[in-house]
Amino acid sequence: MSVSLNAAIKLAFTQTNTYKGVTTTSTPTVATSFQQGTGEAANTQDQLWLHIGRTLVASASEELDLAAGLVDGFGTTLTFVKIKGLWIRNTNTAAGDTLAIGGSAANAFLLFDSATDIYTLGPGGLFLINEPSLAGKAVTAATGDLLKLTETGAANTCTFDVCIWGTSA
């Protein structure tokens, strides 16, 4: 399968301050872009899994099996060996609509330094990791391949988008 990526991220801020009757404005900008081709080397990927509008009901969780547990839009079962990138966007905006990323009790994909580490993504939040190196983030079938996602709002439902890209070798 051929998978290429072209991404651009730009943060443009406007800061305004009035001091002694004088208003000053600053407009700092930070930007980056990256491109990745098809393959299994650095700056490449050959697998893509995308799910828009995924939903977890109150206090529910799921574990995405990165080694032969996901099926792409063409019906192909994906077996990631390296994760090169992960995008998770919480599309809910109400207070309490939170999504925990990580923390599988067993066979955890080591997104963070420890299997028990969790990042809580609040309403409207975006979580993005890009690991274009040859090593990426290793997926180990049967021992390190589960990415846990949990709705942590207790009385809410969380809707989110997930995009995972990586290599099969």
Q: pLDDT means per 10 residues in the chain (169 residues)?
A: 93 96 96 95 97 94 97 96 98 91 95 92 96 96 96 87 97
Domain presence at residue 24:
no
Give the pLDDT of residue 121.
96
Residue 163's pLDDT is 98
Whether 54 is in a domain gets the answer yes
pTM to 2 decimals? 0.92
* pLDDT for 155: 75
Domain count, the chain: 1
Q: In this structure, is residue 34 part of a structural domain?
A: no
- 14 within some domain: no
* Residue numbers of the domain that contains 65: 42-167
- The secondary structure of the chain, three-state, reads CCCCEEEEEEEECCEEEEECCEEEEECCEEEEEEEEEECCCCCEECEEEEEEEEEECCCCEEEEECEEEEECCCCCEEECCEEEEEEEEECCCCCCCCEEECCCCCCECCCCCCCCCCEEECCCCEEEEECCCCCCEECECCCECEEEEEECCCCCCEEEEEEEEEECC
- The answer to whether position 148 is within a domain reads yes
Q: Answer yes or no: is 108 within a domain.
A: yes
In a domain, 12, yes or no: no
Does residue 103 lie within any of the structural domains?
Answer: yes
83: CATH:
2.60.120.770
